[in-house]
Amino acid sequence: MRRMKPEQYVKRILDFACQRDVSDIFFLPQKDKMIIKMREIDGIHDYQLLEADFAVGVINYLKFTSDMDISEHRRPQAGARNFNFRDQVVNLRLSSLGNYSNKESLVIRLIYPLRQLTQNELNGQQWQDIMNQRGLILFSGPTGSGKTTAMYQLTKKYSQHKIVLAIEDPVEVIEPDFLQIQVNKRAQMSYADLIRTSLRHRPDILILGEIRDEESSEMAIRAALSGHLVISTVHARNKFAVIGRMMELGISQRELHSVLNCVIYQRLILQTTGIVKAYRDVLLEENLSQAIQIPQSNYSDWQTMLQIDYKKGLLDEQTYQKYKTG
């Protein structure tokens, strides 16, 4: 390991991660070592234990190539760079932070190109009709659940001859057919500022990476009310909790009745067949209207969906127990 240069090691570990569709790589300091862990679809796995001095060289190389300050080891930093894998560009988002003893940790998030996973796409006349409406579509699910991929796939499939504008922080998926704008707080380009500006560009469809506060939720509703189709994500534990979360962010039931077309809660789950399936719990039409009128939070529909595949043998007991509450 000591004979290998940091840049050689970085290429090796990134090649390995991309081959396995790893979503995150963790460099975590221990007493006199550095352990590397990787997040895959079935959980977090140990990858390797490095000598501390070699690990510092690897982290410094990653920071240097990501426009981060290699002399700063305690304060949090963020950076970005690309990695070429099999003629495709994988975007890397880096975050570093020192612990109580000034030993630095680093996390790399890997953002892959938009993939055509046909078995996971939202297909059918129903989705065609939804995409032809004005209003608001909300996706929810934890980090790594494929929300952004689903938003882009759905939009790309049903946006022929339409202008699509996407606002993200940061841009995760590069899509040449869309006008993509990145939040830049230093340049006073917040979500709300960019939404206001974007409406003057008269897009047919507006993609917002995330509704995260009262200001962005208000601007998303305003955009939907002004005649646009807005597609975004919001953090919630199930499809019903999405409505409650929007109300916590200051959106009234009347406004939700006026603009909300669809809510999708999503998780990517590894089946016993080795296939990763996007499980989606959807609120539409009458069920959506009832959920807005009487806010609730339960997992019955989600659990029923998982139980069907559990009984078919597509999910094992451990997987079912892990995901049954969303």
**pLDDT score for 66:** 95
Q: Which two tokens stand for residue 104?
A: 């630095």
Cross-strand bridge partners of residue 96: 77, 106
Location of structure tokens 């999910």: 315
pLDDT at 73 over 90: no
Q: What is the pLDDT of residue 120?
A: 64
All CATH 3.40.50.300 domain ranges of the chain, comma separated, are: 118-323
**Residue (of 248, 253, 246) closest to 294 by Cα position:** 253
pLDDT mean over 220-242: 92
Amino acid at 70: I
Cα distance between residue 100 and residue 62, in whole Å: 22
Q: What is the pLDDT of residues 159-192, one digit of tens each?
A: 888 999 999 887 877 888 899 988 877 766 777 7
* The three-state (H, E, C) secondary structure of the chain, written as one string: CCCCCHHHHHHHHHHHHHHCCCCEEEEEECCCEEEEEEEECCEEEEEEEEEHHHHHHHHHHHHHCCCCCCCCCCCCEEEEEEEEECCEEEEEEEEEEECCCCCEEEEEEEECCCCCCHHHCCCCHHHHHHHCCCEEEEEECCCCCCHHHHHHHHHHHCCCCCCEEEEECCCCCCCCCCEEEECEHHHCECHHHHHHHHHCCCCCEEEECCCCCHHHHHHHHHHHHCCCEEEEECCCCCHHHHHHHHHHCCCCHHHHHHHEEEEEEEEEEECCCCCEEEEEEEEEHHHHHHHHHCCCCCCHHHHHHHHHHHHCCCCCHHHHHHHCCC
Ramachandran region, residue 124 (left: φ > 0; alpha: ψ -120 to 50; beta: rest): left
Count CB neighbours of 144 within 10 A.
Answer: 14
- Name the pairing type of β-strands 205-208 and 229-233: parallel
Are 67 and 77 in contact by the 8 Å Cβ rule? The answer is no
- pLDDT computed for residue 115 by the predictor: 61
pLDDT higher than threshold 90 for residue 296: no
6-111 carries CATH number 3.20.20.70: no
Predicted pLDDT of residue 88: 87
**For residue 117, is pLDDT > 70?**
no
Model confidence over 134-163: pLDDT tens digits? 999 999 998 888 888 889 989 988 888 899
- CATH pick for 118-323 out of 3.40.50.720, 3.60.20.10, 3.40.50.150, 3.40.50.300: 3.40.50.300
Nearest to 27 by CA among 109, 84, 144: 109
Mean pLDDT over each residue of the chain, to the nearest integer = 89
Which residues of the chain does CATH 3.30.450.90 include?
Answer: 6-111
Kindly provide the b/e burial profile for residues 117-126, where b requires at least 16 CB atoms within 10 angstroms of the residue's own CB: beebbbeeee
289 to 11, 116, 211, 262: CA distances (angstroms): 51, 32, 21, 10
Which of 120, 114, 117 minimizes the C-alpha distance to 277? 120
